[in-house]
């Protein structure tokens, strides 16, 4: 009896632990398939599943099933179904020496995958920089160094000829991608490469190279202007990109920090959850504007806007915490009221929060100009999904019976008084002229008589 009781308690404890783990599993609110495709090159990662088991577990903990495949140029790998819909939400490509990812997979496929909302974690290194991955990154404005180049640092390396194998006290530049709590004292970066970036506003720097580091062509055997890919802090070791449709791409110049031997749990989880759109996800639950009086009270009759009316605008922001939407509080949200150019840029103030959103509002007076105006909120911050909302409304001029009467305008009182004073003076003049004139003279006929 005691044995059965112990077994029952053990089974109940395991079930409770599994239920708790299930409830704590995070996921993306915009996942379409809950699947992730991982591509690796057996010539570099000969036993991928055992060497990167913690990375695979981090992917699964983000609510995604993992499909691991070898990079084989002669085989076909499908990213889309027969209806051109994505088969995967996320794509992870490890460093590869192969010229092709698959017989049917090239940089155009990667472009289409991103265009359809797919997210990608792309890794290159000094050992492998796959051509299609590099071309795709180049089109984003990210230029990783080729595989023949080596990242070295004369001042921060025990043996600079072997290249940089770790980054001491890395400073990550975006807290939405790498949370502040996941800072590390030492980052493994063996066989690492660096990248230059173009002037693309959608690129997000994550980790900058040391000021004393350079990347040079090992085959040339010397450092010179023709063999140097980057020098100093012009290079980057980690970069992110978020497209207009909020599809995300993360690039790193080494895969060592994701291997089990150097795995940084908080760092890896933070990067992957950003890539898979678990972290840094915002949405707007409300976008309303209404006509109000001078005191900000809503009017009973809403007959559209005319010049010099008062308007109240309201919106609400929410942030995904991995399992539910919570209020997102900020102080830098703005409303633009635009015709051709913004007439107003107004700061939105926080009115309060509910269970899942934070409410913002502002009240302003419509300008003295009629035409088509646009209410626009464009909240774009590096590392967060873009919030872009707009609504077009007409603003009419005053009707004939809506202009204020002359006696309602204090500046016109002088002119109104002048008018009435002239009228009164004229009447007085006429009256005095009539009553004060000389008597008429007797006619000539009366004089003859």
Taking only the tens place, the pLDDT of each residue in 365-391 is: 999 999 999 999 999 999 999 999 999
Taking only the tens place, the pLDDT of each residue in 61-120 is: 998 999 999 999 889 999 999 999 999 999 999 999 998 999 999 999 999 999 999 999
What global pTM score does this model have?
0.84
| H/E run at residue 93 | strand 90-93
Q: Reply yes or no on whether the pLDDT at 249 is more than 50.
A: yes
Q: Taking a C-beta distance cutoff of 8 angstroms, is the pair 167, 212 a contact? A: no
**32 contact partners, CB below 8 Å, separation of at least 6:** 85, 86, 89, 117
Task: Report, as an integer, the average pLDDT of 252-256.
Answer: 95
Q: Which residues of 220-258 are buried (b: 16+ CB within 10 A; e: fewer)?
A: eeeeeeebbbbbeeebbbbbbbbeeebbbbbbbbbbbbb
CB atoms < 10 A from the CB of 161, how many? 8
Q: How far apart are CA 101 and CA 133, in angstroms?
A: 9
Task: Report, as an integer, the average pLDDT of 431-440.
Answer: 78
The tokens describing 30, both together, are 């915009």
Taking only the tens place, the pLDDT of each residue in 205-230 is: 999 999 989 898 888 776 777 788 98
User: Which whole-number Å values give the CA distances from 171 to 183, 195, 271, 273, in the listed order?
Assistant: 8, 17, 15, 19
Q: Which domains does the chain have, with CATH numbers?
A: 24-275 (3.40.50), 282-401 (2.70.50.60)
Q: Taking a C-beta distance cutoff of 8 angstroms, is the pair 357, 318 a contact? A: yes
Task: Report, as an integer, the average pLDDT of 154-172.
Answer: 78
Residue found under tokens 């909240």: 379
């Amino acid at each position: 009896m005691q044995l059965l009781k112990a077994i029952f308690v053990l089974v109940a404890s395991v079930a409770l632990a599994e239920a708790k783990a299930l409830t704590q599993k995070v996921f993306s609110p915009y996942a379409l398939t809950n699947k992730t495709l991982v591509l690796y090159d057996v010539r570099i990662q000969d036993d991928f599943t055992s060497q990167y088991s913690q990375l695979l577990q981090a992917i699964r903990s983000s609510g995604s099933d993992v499909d691991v495949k070898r990079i084989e140029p002669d085989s076909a790998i499908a990213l889309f179904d027969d209806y051109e819909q994505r088969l995967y939400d996320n794509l992870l490509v490890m460093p590869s020496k192969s010229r092709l990812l698959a017989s049917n997979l090239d940089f155009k496929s990667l472009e289409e995958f991103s265009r359809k909302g797919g997210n990608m974690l792309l890794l290159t290194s000094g050992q492998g920089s796959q051509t299609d991955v590099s071309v795709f990154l180049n089109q984003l404005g990210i230029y990783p160094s080729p595989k023949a180049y080596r990242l070295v640092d004369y001042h921060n390396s025990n043996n600079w000829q072997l290249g940089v194998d770790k980054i001491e006290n890395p400073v990550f530049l975006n807290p939405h991608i790498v949370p502040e709590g996941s800072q590390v004292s030492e980052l493994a970066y063996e066989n690492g490469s660096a990248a230059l970036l173009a002037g693309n506003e959608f690129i997000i720097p994550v980790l900058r190279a040391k000021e004393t580091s350079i990347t040079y062509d090992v085959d040339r055997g010397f450092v010179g202007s023709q063999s140097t890919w980057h020098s100093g802090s012009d290079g980057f070791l980690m970069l992110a990109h978020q497209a207009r449709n909020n599809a995300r791409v993360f690039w790193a110049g080494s895969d060592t920090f994701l291997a089990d031997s150097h795995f940084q749990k908080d760092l890896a989880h933070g990067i992957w959850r950003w890539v898979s759109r678990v972290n840094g996800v915002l949405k707007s639950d409300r976008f309303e504007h209404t006509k109000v009086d001078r005191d900000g009270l809503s009017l009973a009759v809403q007959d559209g806007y005319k010049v010099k009316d008062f308007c109240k605008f309201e919106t609400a922001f929410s942030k995904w915490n991995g399992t539910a939407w919570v209020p997102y509080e900020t102080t830098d949200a703005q409303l633009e009221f635009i015709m051709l150019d913004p007439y107003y840029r107004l700061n939105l103030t926080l009115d309060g929060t509910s269970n899942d959103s934070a409410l913002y509002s502002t009240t302003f007076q419509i300008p003295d100009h009629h035409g088509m105006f646009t209410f626009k909120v464009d909240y774009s911050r590096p590392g967060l999904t873009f919030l872009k909302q707009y609504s077009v409304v007409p603003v009419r001029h005053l009707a004939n019976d809506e202009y204020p009467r002359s006696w309602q305008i204090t500046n016109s009182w002088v002119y109104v008084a002048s008018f009435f004073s002239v009228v009164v003076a004229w009447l007085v003049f006429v009256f005095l002229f009539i009553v004060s004139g000389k008597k008429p003279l007797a006619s000539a006929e009366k004089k003859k008589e």
